[in-house]
Amino acid sequence: MARTVGFSLPVAVVVVAIGYIYFSTVFVFLDRWFGLWSSPGLMNAAIFTAVAAMCIYTYTVSVFRDPGRVPATYMPDVEDSENPIHEIKRKGGDLRYCQKCSHYKPARAHHCRVCKRCVLRMDHHCIWINNCVGHANYKVFFVFVVYAVIACLYSLVLLLGSLANDFEKDEEQSADSFTTVYVRLHFVCISHAFTTIFSCLFFYNCFQIISGLLLFPLCMALSVLLGWHIYLILQNKTTIEYHEGVRAMWLAEKGGQIYSHPYDLGAYQNLSTVLGPNIFSWLLPTSGHIGSGLRFCTAYDYPSSGST
């Protein structure tokens, strides 16, 4: 289900960054390294364009897809024998009820103060997509991060390759500039060496300098984000559940008990639950397997199918 989206500065920044990285990679890095119309240039341009297209598409879906709403008619059935888990408040032991939305909250749902509503299987609110990451758009958000990491690393490799190629060309040009006059030769070599190094590092290509300053931190930040969500998926946790689990584990150990995350079904089953039963569709923005988000498979009813 799509949602209405207004202007968001962080989203505009992401769109501009994607466009800038694509333009720099294809029309600057590739062109300077291989030549854009050579066979290697066309092949790399086609591959990078495909990765960038997936990145743009999954980002767009992440922004516009509703993360999941709690139905107005939702009412927990405490007598449902097929649902052994009903999350309760930490204090009082009552079923979780949202005073702001005036309805009960299903398991794994949380109220977002930014979106001002409850979100099914809420992971976090992300300013970079101006949206919550929740039940309906978690997979497409994860797939976007995967393709973003691939695109940034790919672009960084092409950037470094173009810099190395430029340096080799400058070396060849300096070798061809030798003359028979020793003083002239000595002066030209020294001045050309300093000019080449200085220009390559600072002024030789504005796209290369700015892109390098953009790509290095982006690669690091997105790789950390990807690693974090891979960890969460393997544990079948959300970011909120991870932090709640740290406290629950501490309280359990304090009481001499062992805490076990109820939605942890094992690594492969967790991957299948979040990304889909077909391994070949794990990196595709499909979501037909996610169900309603009102109930999820737990360790108590494993090996029944995922969410329904």
d(CA 132, CA 122): 7
Residues 6+ apart with CB under 8 A from 106: 70, 74, 76, 120, 293, 294, 295
Q: Is the peptide bond before 303 cis (omega within 30 degrees of 0)?
A: yes
Q: Is 45 helix (H, G, I), strand (E, B) or coil?
A: helix
Please give the backbone phi and psi of residue 113, each rounded to the nearest 5 degrees, phi first: -70, -25
CA trace torsion 57, 291, 307, 56 (10° rounding): 0
Helix (H) or strand (E) holding 155: helix 138-176
Identify the burial level of 20 via C-beta atoms within 10 angstroms of its C-beta, where 0-12 means exposed, 13-18 middle and 19 or more buried: middle
Per the CB < 8 A criterion, the answer to whether 155 and 211 are in contact is yes
Measure CA of the first residue to CA of the last residue in the chain; give whole Å: 18
Q: What share of the chain is helix, strand, coil (3-state, %, to 5)?
A: 55, 5, 40
Q: Is 118 an active-site residue?
A: no
Per the CB < 8 A criterion, the answer to whether 155 and 215 are in contact is yes
Please give the backbone phi and psi of residue 111, each rounded to the nearest 5 degrees, phi first: -85, 130
Catalytic residue among 55, 115, 118, 126: 126
Which residues are the active-site residues?
Answer: 126
